[in-house]
Amino acid sequence: MKNTFWRLSPLALLVFSSFSHADTLQQVCELKIDTAQCPSVSHFISQPFEAKDEFEKYKLCSEAQYDLYKVQKNCEFDAYLAKAQKTFDDFKSKVDKKWDEPNFSDQYSWVSYSPSLELKREVNFEKNVIKVTTIAGDTTTVEELKEEILATSELTIGEAQQADVYTSALIEETKVEALSEAPLLPVAQDKETQVQELEKALENVVVTESVDSKGNKVVEAEIRFPPTWLNRKEKRFFDTVETYSEKYHLEPEFVLSIIKTESAFDPTAVSRIPAFGLMQIVPSSAGLDATNFLFGEKQLLNREYLFDPEKNIEVGTAYIHLLRSRYFKGIENEESLKYCVIAAYNGGMGPIYHMFGGKRSVAINNINQLPPEKVFKTIQAKHAAAETRNYLKKVHSAELNYEKNMI
């Protein structure tokens, strides 16, 4: 979910001409500041405010209160991010000194380094592999690397999140009270089957040795997910997807295709936007809309909702529901509606409105004049963001595959 920009209502930014020029938005509207001020809040509340009559003053102040909330929440979240980013940047600089080409957790993979920084564990949910790499050279044997693979397979989602420097810093800053105790990897429920699956996978471990540009002897051990994991990786979230798909009148295949494209079913996924979890929720934008719908008030998702897979799906499906029922309400053809929702989930509503006519009402009317395949082609041809153009194709292709293969 890459819709990361907040917008202030146009009227809240206008300057009118009958109140004193010395009056600011904060003075006239008696705005209350809930969080420590940051430059964007200070700029917003110090704008000169004027209105031609009391009715316009009431209207503008109502809009200003709503806009201030968004500005403050963005500031609050930015403060969290700044502290977490500083922690991560300090850590990254240390890793850069040790490793030739270090990599870190992203939208599709989990990466963690040992305290000595000489061992790296990775799980790539897009490529379906576990990899353990050491630059300790002869001090680490292949058998020890295999033991690290086994240890990785036993991690819970919460433990994996804590082991990632950036995510753990956010967890600390946002005071998360509970983390998921579900397995990070799609292991079997019973221990005996778990062991059998891993032992079989380790029979095909691929070990490579090399020397990097820093002179380190690099030893890498990699296994592919067992076949049973590939099926279980997605199925373990099916019940939750079906629950919220039914609640919001969505097709489960559609929600699964969003998750597959957003995170490849990596429950620890954190992009540097940042967006979180299976459905890549951005707390300070789409997350505010979803929480307002779910809880009756806009809340910054700064606790377990950021990191719990089931709650992440709840918020993501709620936001899809809002895109369908509010922001694109009036689109008559279901396929056309779906294409607009997919593109907006990734790149926001604004570009869709713009390419189909500008104003929301005009855009929806114009969309209704087109067959769905033309709507799809228009987004592909006119959307400014290559990421969103590719995203639409990926989600659409994934959904067709789910429709064909799901029983």
Q: By C-alpha distance, which of 356, 324, 357 is closest to 338?
A: 324
**Residue 72 near residue 38 (C-beta atoms within 8 A):** no
pLDDT at 257: 98
Q: How far is CA 90 from CA 15, 86, 95, 399, in A?
A: 44, 6, 9, 41
State how far the Cα of 105 lies from the Cα of 309, in Å rounded to an integer.
17
Q: What is the pLDDT of residues 166-199, one digit of tens each?
A: 999 988 888 888 899 999 999 999 999 999 999 9
Q: What is the pLDDT of residues 42-83, one digit of tens each?
A: 767 777 777 778 888 888 888 887 778 777 777 777 788 888
pLDDT at 19: 39
Q: What is the pLDDT of residues 125-168, one digit of tens each?
A: 999 999 999 998 778 899 999 999 999 999 999 999 999 999 99
Domain boundaries, the chain: 10-89, 96-226, 231-405
pLDDT at 203: 95
**Residue 167 near residue 184 (C-beta atoms within 8 A):** no
State how far the Cα of 81 lies from the Cα of 113, in Å rounded to an integer.
21
pLDDT at 43: 65
pLDDT at 35: 52
Site of tokens 């753990």: 168
Residue 225 reports pLDDT greater than 60: yes
Kindly tell me the burial class for residue 372, based on how many C-beta atoms sit within 10 Å of its own C-beta (0-12, 13-18, 19 or more).
middle
DSSP-derived secondary structure letter, 290: H
Coil, strand or helix at 339: helix
| Average pLDDT of the residues in 118-124 | 97
Q: Do β-strands 109-113 and 119-124 pair in parallel, antiparallel, or remain unpaired?
A: antiparallel
pLDDT at 32: 74
Confidence tier at 120 by pLDDT (50, 70, 90):
very high
Residue 372 reports pLDDT greater than 90: yes
pLDDT at 195: 92
Q: What is the pLDDT of residues 87-102, one digit of tens each?
A: 999 999 999 999 999 9
CATH class of 231-405: mainly alpha
Axis-axis angle for helices 191-202, 142-153 (nearest 10): 140
| Average pLDDT of the residues in 256-273 | 93
Max Cα distance, the chain (Å)? 81
pLDDT at 11: 40
pLDDT at 7: 41
Residue 1 reports pLDDT greater than 70: no
State how far the Cα of 380 lies from the Cα of 370, in Å rounded to an integer.
15
